Amino acid sequence: MKKLLQYSCLLFCAGTASVQADEKSTDWHFNVGAMYEIENIEGQADDEDGLYEPSVYFNAAWGDWSIALTMYQEGPANYSNFTRGTYFNRPEMNIRYQFFDNDMGTFGFTTGIRNYGYHFKDDHGANAGTANTVRYGFIPDYQIKFNDSLSFGGWLAYYRFDHDLDETGYSDSRVETETGMTWIINETFSLKANYYLERGFNIESDKNNGEFSTQEMRIYLPISLGTNTFTPYTRIGLDRWTNWDWSEDLEREDHNYDRLGLLYAHDFENGLSMTLEYAYEWEDHNEGDRDRFHYAGVGVNYSF
């Protein structure tokens, strides 16, 4: 499941800081919200019935500074016996500074920390230990404005993972980026075409924990109709491979995949807004069967 909320918080902080920079404001701006994301695989699979990620967040911005605080719960869900893979114990904090915002473009930098907590169970459902992996993030974001209609921008993240990597299966390093062109056609239509990369790797040469690579094109078509915005989008898989069986198997498994989705956002014009999202993804593996995913997300946000 992709970290939608993480970058929603990041973009809110970026947007708020941008407005304040333009207005030379020193007022505080806040928003609070909650999201629930779930991804189900058709049929029974290794991750039981699906994956889910409920979360709550609080953001604050003042001048060129902004902070985002989030608490996640993430893990497999087995609806037949109502068990969950983790508790609500994955806090994250990001702090961002906006270096500049003018007619030429924008540039900001975010740094943060997130804890991944796991509670393991044995074959009989009894507690079998815990693990906590800490992730440190360094994320510049940028935009180059060619004119009022055309711009180039995105973000680039480097993550460092520490603690309990053998238990959680994470590699010690990861890079992630989404960047591309935005064309504002008119007041109603826009078009965004981005390249996305996520790559997990190990700096330590004697380890092979959880290495993977994902590359895709992400194309969005936001349609603004008053207080409603509809964003149909697609993710076109360019390349994906994984190697999670780090203890025994050095072979990589290749995957072919694509996704179609629709994000709906409504602004109630009183500080309250909401989002609804659905996506369908099909994935084929060079080992094993084909998978078909259903993703759904709902969010509510209040700004003040």
Look at residue 80 in the predicted model and tell me its pLDDT: 53
118 versus 188: the higher-pLDDT residue is 188
The arithmetic mean of pLDDT across residues 200-224, rounded, is 89
> Rounded to an integer, what distance in angstroms lies between the CA atom of residue 135 and that of residue 116?
8
Look at residue 242 in the predicted model and tell me its pLDDT: 85
What pLDDT band is residue 62 in, cutting at 50, 70 and 90?
very high
> Rounded to an integer, what distance in angstroms lies between the CA atom of residue 102 and that of residue 79?
50
Domain residue ranges in the chain: 40-141+155-162, 171-278
Look at residue 17 in the predicted model and tell me its pLDDT: 38
Q: Residue 256 pLDDT > 80, yes or no?
A: yes
Reply yes or no on domain 40-141+155-162 having CATH 2.40.160.40: yes
- Give the Cβ contact number of residue 244 at 10 Å: 17
2 versus 296: the higher-pLDDT residue is 296
Q: Which residues pair with 299 in a beta bridge?
A: 35, 275
Q: Residue 4 pLDDT > 50, yes or no?
A: no
> Rounded to an integer, what distance in angstroms lies between the CA atom of residue 34 and that of residue 179?
26
The arithmetic mean of pLDDT across residues 77-84, rounded, is 51
**Which amino acid appears at position 1 of this protein?**
M
**What tokens were used for 202?**
């190990």
C-alpha pair distances (Å), 185 with each of 145, 190, 219, 265, 282: 15, 5, 15, 19, 31
Q: What pTM was estimated for this model as a whole?
A: 0.85
Under DSSP, is residue 294 helix (H, G, I), strand (E, B) or coil? strand
pLDDT per position as a tens digit, 113-151: 999 887 776 666 677 778 889 999 999 999 999 999 999
**What tokens were used for 132?**
């906590």
CATH top-level class for 171-278?
Answer: mainly beta
Under DSSP, is residue 167 helix (H, G, I), strand (E, B) or coil? helix
Look at residue 10 in the predicted model and tell me its pLDDT: 38
CB 198 within 8 A of CB 218: no
